[in-house]
Structure 1
Amino acid sequence: MNDDQVAALIRDDEIDILVDLAGHTGLNRMLTFARRPAPVQLSYLGYCCTTGLAAIDYRLTDWHTDPKGQEAFHAETLYRLDRNFLCYTAPDSAPEVAPPPSGKSGGITFGSFNTLAKVTPDVVALWAKVMAAVPGSRFILKAKSLSDEATRIRYRALFESHGIAGERIETLGRIKEKGDHLGAYGRVDIALDTFPYNGVTTSCEAMWMGVPVVTLEGRNHAGRLCASLLHALDLPHLIAGDENAFVDVAKGLAEDGAALAALRAELRGRMQKSDLRDGPGLARAIETAYRDMWQQWCTGATPAGTE
């Protein structure tokens, strides 16, 4: 169906609130939303930026990913939940949390399982600074694209360009089974986040497997996603405000083996008790937001977010 047909169907079905989950990603329906087929339209979850469409009234978010001051960068009204704006559901195949690998090897293993689109030369440069500050440390870089030999060589060379010997870098390609993929976190002591686009699913996976994530907090939604997750887990000390702090946080965590082991042992339980695992609570929060948006439309009010 083309956009006119989809919009007509939405009008015929008398949809009151229409939610976009794709933004400007592939196969989106932005042109359907531009036709304003529903009284209230909003964007949520699947796109980390403004849609730029006046026809979309709200963007559903939270206070950590989009703090005050972000309004100027959005065409939509920001509607912030008083909790994290997403949840994580772990697969049943997730293995138990493994002991810290540093306990066997004697050295710290850092890691990232993010898509390589997020692993820019600037990201590798900062990770290399962390490795330089932690002698004997290793790094496991895992991504589907690393199944390709030329890609493996390129990323190892990036580390080497910053003085990190290639033998300290291990690359892993795609692992077919989800349980085995999660099990690979058992070889990682500390996950280092990407920037300016943070890991989200990968950060949740790491922490579910007991691996703490150190993040560099950015200036916009994409760069504050992991910070929002860490706030939900009451772990703000893993959030760095600048690159020097990022190195310091990672180095401090690596040098305190007892604290690192204790955090690894409790991370899954901490997640289980947090908003990140409270799907019903998130559903109720979103339902309340929808009701408020609808009532605003019924009264003819200009869309108002949370202040």
Structure 2
Amino acid sequence: MTSTPSRRAGYSLVEVMVAMTLLTVIVVGLLASLNQTQRALRISGSQTDTMENGRAFMSMISQELAELARLPAAASNTFRFYSVARTDPIYQNIEGLGADSRTNQLYSFGFVVRDKTANQWRTITYDFERADLDFTMGALYRTETNFPYWALTNDAQGLTGYQKQLRTFGYDAQRTPDQTNFFGRMIEGVVHLAFKAYDQNGLLIPEWSRDRFAGYWFTNAPLNLSTTAPSAIEIELGVLDPDVRRRVKGMPDPNTVQNYLKDRAGNIQVFRQRIPISVGP
């Protein structure tokens, strides 16, 4: 008598399809999770770079401005500190605060400090490129030059004359040429740089506004400019996130840039610090 071998039971086609579907869902879920984690790390890294650059700049400028020199009475035309409005105000919308609730504007600035290691002055200037000003966003540049004590006079060949070459009153003829090698790049993607000055009572000192020359002009001259001795200067810096900055660089004209940034106030990292100014020399 022969026996028929029993047939082993296998997986049905439906079971195989269900198993493959579950594996596919698991793999897709893992890939999505990994991609999201990678994206978060990249965003965090780019913001970290922006934050570190902004903090480093604020730390450096705080140390420099804290050493702002009080100039001798004979140098009444030399600017102890000056800031110049480079662009018209640009407004952004902030959700919950309404339209045009944030104002961005670019100022260049310069000041004089005393050199601790030599018998001389140091004049420091920060400025933007002309082409960047049209787009209301760009890199901030810095230059520094030493001057002996005797050069701090009202004479055109002294420090006053050199400041006139660097600063701008709205006229290109008084501006350092673009091709100059004097300036070194400090920080990229700046969309806002502005200043507020305060007197010894903590009251805001208004800007001196004449035509397009809005800004602060601290000298030893009479008080028809700003004031001779601010007790504190507050600096506010706005830096655009790197991803948004790269998109903006590819845009063809300033109007496109301004419209694109109109609703992207959240992509600007803002730094603000009030720096006390010594009343000593």
Normalised TM-score (structure 1) = 0.24
Normalised TM-score (structure 2) = 0.26
Larger helix share, 1 or 2: 1
Structure with greater contact order relative to length (CA < 8 Å, sep ≥ 6): 2
